[in-house]
Every structure is written in C-alpha cells, then in structure tokens.
Amino acid sequence: MSFDQATPSEANEAIERARRSRGENALSYEVALPALGPDEFLTQRVLPKLAYFLDCRGVKPPASGGVFISLFSPAGLHFVDAGPVVQKLAEARSLTLAEVFRRYGADGAGDPPLLGG
C-alpha cells in the first residue's frame, strides 16, 4: 500500500519528494502512529478527521485527489495514498464509504449515540 518510505530524520525532504512525485497540487496529511493501539487509533481517531478533511477538499475515496498520508510509525515514515486508506479503515469498521462521509464528512452527523449512554 505504501508508495515510498523514509526515515523520520529525513522527513522534510522525503515529504517534499513525495509531493513532487504526486503532482503540483499534492498535499501531505501527516499522522503520527502511536506504538500502542495503532489499529484503534487509525479507525477511531484518524478516519473521522481524514474523511472530514477529504470531504472539505471535494475528494471522494477511493480516489485520493492528490492527498497522501505521511505516516510516522515506530518502523519509520511511510507514504500512502489517502483514498485507499479511507476505504481500508472503513472496511475495518464495517462501514461503507457513503456511511463514513455521512458520519464524518463536512455535513456529518457523527457517530450514532450509544444505547444506555
């Protein structure tokens, strides 16, 4: 899924190279992945914010619209296109892309209330 990798110490140069490789209007969405609970972090914290960001830019996954994720992890810096990431995270939560954007898009309603809450 990653289209490039780098070490965190070369992040600025690597992100710029990734931007150039993706085109004039490419944009990096930076995510620092925690060592503990990375899956939950991605599905619960990153997915809603990333969906909102993409929706505000008019990007509809699985397209990426020039947006890529600069994912800082304990294993290094990885670059992935945003659209497929949203699609995978939606699948991990058993959500359709339409439901992701209904909940978290620019006009999103958020997560449904929990029973007994």
Residue extents of the structural domains in the chain: 2-104
Distance (Å, rounded) from C-alpha 15 to C-alpha 80? 11
Mean pLDDT of 73-94: 97
Mean pLDDT of 4-22: 96
Cut 0.85: pTM above it: yes
Contact (CB, 8 A) for 33 and 71: yes
Beta-strand runs (E) in 74-109: 76-81
Is the sign of the CA dihedral 54, 58, 60, 61 positive or negative?
Answer: negative
Contact (CB, 8 A) for 1 and 40: no
Distance (Å, rounded) from C-alpha 117 to C-alpha 65? 38
